[in-house]
């Protein structure tokens, strides 16, 4: 049985970001179809968001970087968003 932490949507993706340190978040992207991307989100010296490792799916990568703006301004401990393609 799949835990509620690993729910994959029927379409689009579920994005979960959790702060692990000041300016550093761990992210998980649960894609429709069962793929999961995990990595770290931080900001470089110029203030640009950087996700590592790079997410191969262009749409998912763009969405993670959009959510980085929300995290940078809000500094939430945890952020979960569902997004459609």
Q: What is the 3-state secondary structure (H, E, C) of the chain?
A: CCCHHHCCCCCCEEEEEEEEECCEEEEEEEECCCCEEEEEEEECCCCCEEEECCCCCHHHHHHHHHHHHHHHHHCCCEEEEEECC
The pTM is what?
0.87
- Give the tokens for residue 85: 């393609």
Domain extent listing, the chain: 4-78
- Give the tokens for residue 70: 């929300």
Q: What are the tens digits of pLDDT across the range 49-83?
A: 999 999 999 999 999 999 999 999 988 999 999 99
CA–CA distance, 54 with 46 (Å, rounded to integer): 19
């Amino acid at each position: 049985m799949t835990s509620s932490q690993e729910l994959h949507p029927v379409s689009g993706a579920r994005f979960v970001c959790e702060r692990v340190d000041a300016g550093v978040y761990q992210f998980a992207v649960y894609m429709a179809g069962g793929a999961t991307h995990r990595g770290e989100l931080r900001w470089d010296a110029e203030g640009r968001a950087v996700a590592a490792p790079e997410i191969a799916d262009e749409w998912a990568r763009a969405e993670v970087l959009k959510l980085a703006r929300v995290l940078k301004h809000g500094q939430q401990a945890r952020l979960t968003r569902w997004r459609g393609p």
